[in-house]
Each structure stands twice: as structure tokens, then as C-alpha cells.
Structure 1
Amino acid sequence: MKIEQSKAVRLVGGVIAILLGAAVLSNPYGSMLTVTKLLGWAVLVFGVVSLAAAFANLEAILSQAELYVGIPCTLLGLAIVTQPGFFVAWVFLLLGVFVMVAGLNSLFAANASRALGLPGASLGLAGAVATVVFGALVMLAPRAMASFSMVVCGVALVFAGVVSAAGALGDLRGR
């Protein structure tokens, strides 16, 4: 059995993707803040629901996992909703640290490969240095990197939308 999406759904989905991509491209950092706030609201709601479930059974409240999950989730959700810019910068700062550490590990491996005379060591060394530099850039400019990642997402949305809409229009003409 073959399941196929209708041409109208593909066309509408493509147009929606193009519009979302254009919105993201028009304000990349604002889009990142919006996504972060939505994530914060989801964490906050999860925390509140977990706390409500814990308080529904008062006699065993201290032994319930919902209490121990609900409190930090509620606090984290509140923090993210009220300070989304801080969390965007924090996440990209951590990403920069991770990339830089990975680059340093690659640099050590490339130096070991070069010392052993293995082929391709120079290319590995160049890649490792580029990774370290990229990690440093992400750490030094987390807001710019957040905007850049949203630009990539916006371009991908527009591209996917155009492909979907064009395919649907081509199928409609080919009837």
C-alpha cells in the first residue's frame, strides 16, 4: 500500500515553510528568542503539571519523583521564559566550549599522527586548527552564532518550501 500526501497539502505546507523561513530570515535573533521562550514555556508547564501531580497525593509527597522533577523544571522554565537571551547565549557559549575541546582533541590526535608519519596528518592538523578557531568564535560571539544558525534554518525552510510547492504545482499541472 502506497501512502501519498495530497498535492494541496504539499502546496500549502510549502507555502507555510516559505513564509516561516522568510520570517526567520527577517529577524534571526528574534526568532531564536521566540524558540527559546517556547521551550521555556514547555519546561514550565511540565514542571507545574509535575508539581500538581505530586501534590495530588499528599501522604506520599516526599517520595514522589514528580516533586523532585517539578521543582527544578518549574524554576528552570521560569528562568528561561523571563531571560531567554541569557539562555541563548549560554547554550552557544557551551557549544563553543564543546567545539573547542573537540578541536583540541583532534589537534592532539593530528600531532600524534604526524609524529608517526601517517598520511593525511597535515590535513587533520588543518581541520583541527579550524575547529579550535571555530569553537573560539562561537564562544566569543554566541549571539552572532545564534543568529547565523537561525539564518541557516531560515534558508533551509525556504528551500524546502520551494521544493515542496514546486513539486505540488508540477503535479497539479501534470493531471
Structure 2
Amino acid sequence: MQVKFTRSKWGTILWGVASAVLGIFMFVNPGATAKGVTVLFGWVLTIAGVIALIGAFTHWSIILSTLDLYAGALSLLFGMLILAWPEFFVAFIFVMLGLYVIAAGFSTLAGSNALRILGVRGSGVGIVLSMLSVILGILVIMSPFAMANVAMSVGGIALIYTGLVHIAQGIKMPKQEG
């Protein structure tokens, strides 16, 4: 059995317009977008926690209701914390990202240094790039909100591009008959 997916001309154009508008909003308001996404995630966790807690008291199984109780309580608590302090969690995510980049930079530095000791040509480039990675991680940790703005702006540019591509594809689509 062959399944064929088709998209309508106007659906593709509308999808492109929606993507481009969202991308423009992300590019123009990167801080508000980062906070908005964080708040949305907080609401999702809060609602999922409430649903899991309700499920904990409706299950007939002791194991399932206990799991739902703990998962629901944790999700509800974490969601409410995110809703209470969204800016903290935006910064927290980027501080964790910075720590990861620093750790990856030191790991790559150790590998590049081992290659240098073995006499592999071009290992100096790896050392320099590793040092740049560590410096970038430090910059991310020192200014997480600026990095969140950069990430949202880049995401906005990507959405604008994707939207324009979808609009162009929709315009070039032949009209569907029948």
C-alpha cells in the first residue's frame, strides 16, 4: 500500500506566512520570546503535573498510582517554579549550556594535546579551536541573557527563511484539480 502525502497550495503559503511572522517576532523581540517559551514550558509541566496527580488517584494499581503521584508532584512543582521565575530558568539553561561547552572544549583540548604529543600534523588547530570553545563557554556563562537573545534571533532568522521558502514553494505549486 502506497501512502501519498500532498500539501495544498494555500496551506503551504499560509504555513510560510505564519513561519515568517513568527520569525519576525522572534527576531524583533528575542528576550520576550525566550521568556514566552519558558513560560509556555512551565504551563505544560504544570498541567501535565495536575493530570498525573489526578491519574494517581484514579489508578487501581499501587505501582502506577505511586509513579503518577511522584511524577505529577515533581512536574507540578517544577512547572510552578518555572512560572514563578521564568528569567531565572532562561539564565539557568544558558549557564548549563555554557558549562557543557566548556567541558566539551577541555575534552577536545585533551584530545588535541594527545595528538600533538603523538606528532600528528595540524593538531595545533585543534588546540586553538578547543581554547576558543572554552572561551565561548565562559562568555555564555557570563552573559546568559545576551546568549538567549542571540539564540532567539538566529531562530527567528531561520523561521523567516523557512517561511519565505514555503511561500515560494506554494506560489510555484500547480493548482490541484478535483
Instruction: Please classify the TM superposition score into its range, dividing by the shorter chain length.
Output: over 0.9
Counterpart in the other structure of 2:26: 24
Checking the alignment, whether the CA contact within 8 Å between 1:14 and 1:161 is kept in structure 2 is: yes
1:22-67 CA-partner distances (Å, limit 9, x unpaired): 1111100110100010101000111111111112359949961111
User: Whose helix fraction is larger, Structure 1's or Structure 2's?
Assistant: 1
Counterpart in the other structure of 1:145: 147
Counterpart in the other structure of 1:85: 87
1:25-64 equivalences under 5 Å are 25-56=27-58, 60=62, 64=66
- Unaligned stretches of 5+ residues in structure 1: none
Checking the alignment, whether the CA contact within 8 Å between 1:37 and 1:81 is kept in structure 2 is: yes
The alignment of Structure 1 onto Structure 2 pairs a total of residues equal to: 174
Matched, 1:132 2:134: yes
1:108-119 equivalences under 5 Å are 108-119=110-121
Query: Amino acid of the residue matched to residue 113 of structure 2?
Result: N
| Cα distance between partner residues in 2 of 1:91 and 1:107 | 24
Give the superposed CA RMSD: 2.1
Checking the alignment, whether the CA contact within 8 Å between 1:61 and 1:67 is kept in structure 2 is: no
The two structures have a TM-score, normalised by structure 1, of: 0.92
| Cα distance between partner residues in 2 of 1:146 and 1:126 | 25
Matched, 1:4 2:6: yes
1:110-131 CA-partner distances (Å, limit 9, x unpaired): 1111111112201111110111
Checking the alignment, whether the CA contact within 8 Å between 1:110 and 1:124 is kept in structure 2 is: yes
In the TM superposition, what is the alpha-carbon distance from 1:159 to its structure 2 partner?
0.2
Query: Amino acid of the residue matched to residue 6 of structure 1?
Result: S
The two structures have a TM-score, normalised by structure 2, of: 0.91
Query: Amino acid of the residue matched to residue 78 of structure 1?
Result: M
Give the match's secondary structure for 1:146. Answer: helix
User: Which of 149, 153, 157 pairs up with 2:159?
Assistant: 157
- Unaligned stretches of 5+ residues in structure 2: none
In the TM superposition, what is the alpha-carbon distance from 1:83 to its structure 2 partner?
0.9
Checking the alignment, whether the CA contact within 8 Å between 2:59 and 2:65 is kept in structure 1 is: no
Counterpart in the other structure of 1:98: 100
Give the match's secondary structure for 1:65. Answer: helix
Query: Amino acid of the residue matched to residue 99 of structure 1?
Result: V
Checking the alignment, whether the CA contact within 8 Å between 1:55 and 1:61 is kept in structure 2 is: no
Identical residues among aligned pairs (%):
36
